[in-house]
Structure 1
Amino acid sequence: MSFKRASKVADLIKAEISDILLKQINDPRVQGITVTGVKVTDDLRQARVFFVQMGQRSCSDETMDGLHRAAGFLRRELGKRLRLRYVPEIVFTFDESFEYGDRINRLLAEIEKDD
């Protein structure tokens, strides 16, 4: 499997999951979720979905539970929307890169203020 294909599939999955979460999932535990990225294995069997939640610095157990419970529905909807032989298993991971970037920005601002 080429890297290019996995990258294209990841982009499609990101767009579709974002749309499904916004329009079809009514669970209050997953409100305010933004999908920041998707990494797909080379064999397209697993998709790791990275997300952040508006106003949250970390992921609550309730949010993860809501996403895990919605994973089957999301996978079924992806199967309807995408033309893939196998619909990847969805694994949700809280994206800590935004928190890390925010921390770096705060440190840089603090250094600039000290000078």
Structure 2
Amino acid sequence: MSFRANRVAEQMKKELGDIIGRKIKDPRIGFVTVTDVRVTGDLQQAKVYISILGDEEKKQESLKALAKAKGFIRTEIGQRIRLRKTPELLFEVDEAMEYGNRIENLLHEIKKEDEN
């Protein structure tokens, strides 16, 4: 990723957190955290990684609501960040947190077994 794309991604991450947290009033969106944003080198697309608190159903509901609000979010980003063309947004659930928690739980189980 180029330096410029990296800078745009960092700025977008900050702004998206604010927009999703404060501007969107959809009750289907649960507790959502923007964990990462990856922008293509040509600044045409931005993949937004999010973690959502809750079960699988809650995650799917939040993703649907974010997809529905994509136009609004993109417009807000365009107003906040000076770019010739605002990148297309793609939302994806960041599984890294869950993966890390699963590994931690497995390590705790192994430790308990060793103690017994």
Secondary structure of 1:91's counterpart equals strand
Counterpart mapping for 1:28-107 below 5 A: 28-56=27-55, 60-107=59-106
Letter in structure 1 aligned against 2:76? E
Offset of residue 56 of structure 1: 3.5
Q: Does structure 2 conserve the Cα–Cα contact (< 8 Å) formed by 1:6 and 1:42?
A: yes
Gaps of 5+ in 1: none
Cα shift readout 1:86-106 (whole Å, capped 9, x = no counterpart): 100000001111111011101
TM-score (norm 2): 0.91
Q: Does 1:12 align with 2:16?
A: no
Letter in structure 1 aligned against 2:81? L
State the percentage of identical aligned residues.
Answer: 46
Q: Does structure 2 conserve the Cα–Cα contact (< 8 Å) formed by 1:20 and 1:74?
A: yes
Offset of residue 53 of structure 1: 1.2
Offset of residue 57 of structure 1: 5.7
Aligned positions, number: 114
Offset of residue 26 of structure 1: 0.3
Partner of 2:108 in structure 1? 109
Letter in structure 1 aligned against 2:59? S
Q: CA RMSD in A?
A: 1.5
State the distance in 1 between where 2:30 and 2:98 align: 19
Letter in structure 1 aligned against 2:14? A
Letter in structure 2 aligned against 1:66? A
Gaps of 5+ in 2: none
